[in-house]
Amino acid sequence: MELSATKKVVVFDYGFGNVRSAERALARVGADVEITRDYDKAMNADGLLVPGVGAFAACMKGLEAARGNWIIGRRLAGGRPVMGICVGMQIMFARGIEHGVETEGLDEWPGTVAPLEADIVPHMGWNTVDWPAGSDLFAGIDPDARFYFVHSYACQDWTMEATHPAMRPPMVAWSTYGKPFVAAVENGALCATQFHPEKSGDAGAQLLTNWIGTL
């Protein structure tokens, strides 16, 4: 699934996330990929990918130490694409709650990332995703496709609507584990997935191809 026009993608290296897996997956679908926290490179790339593994609070601390919060905010203010994966998605929300401790997120979207309400946690393995018609991220993907999840927390309530009548409203995809949770969001220049597309086989590769095609 090679792309006709090579796009430059920076995988932001702030100490959290399997950056090598993301790098390999993006390279396989035709992107020119670099792992870095360099400010100029992160700002000027066609796309910025923000991975994330571990605790919400620790990821936020690492992101702020690398000035990633500022870079993400500046890119989005200028309409420059950003994609978050796993905890890299969670930190886009207003706050996260872990072990009773609340941590402020980037507040790009309202909502709280909280413990999953399920009999067995973490949610680890393959699951289906229900996405809305017209999705760019999921274009061409079999509706029965499964994606790979590893997480104990999620946003389980979405309240944000379009900020202007002329704007396309956010497109929210859902999955269910115990109860429904947000599995992916497309919102202008910002999109994210709770699952790991880089570990999700052909469906994940198609999703990354679709994202690169929007850059």
Q: Can you give the residue ranges of every domain in the chain?
A: 8-213
Q: Mind listing the pLDDT tens digit for each residue in 81-101?
A: 999 999 999 999 999 999 899
pLDDT at 18: 87
**CB–CB of 83/211 below 8 Å?**
yes
Residue 176 CA to residue 129 CA, distance in Å, equals 8
Q: Which residue type occupies 43?
A: M
Q: Mind listing the pLDDT tens digit for each residue in 150-199?
A: 999 999 999 876 555 556 789 999 999 999 999 999 999 999 999 999 99
* 87, burial (CB in 10 Å: exposed 0-12, middle 13-18, buried 19+): buried
Annotated catalytic sites, by residue?
Answer: 86, 196, 198
| CATH class of this structure's domain 8-213 | alpha beta
Q: Which residue type occupies 141?
A: I
Structure tokens at 26: 């993006």
3-state secondary structure 38-72: CHHHHHHCCEEEECCCCCHHHHHHHHHHCCHHHHH
Q: State the pLDDT confidence band at 142, using cuts at 50, 70 and 90.
A: very high
Residue 103: CB atoms within 10 A of its CB come to 17
Q: Is the pTM of this model over 0.85?
A: yes
pLDDT at 163: 56
Query: Within its chain, how far is the Cα of 116 from the centroid?
Result: 18
**CB–CB of 122/151 below 8 Å?**
yes
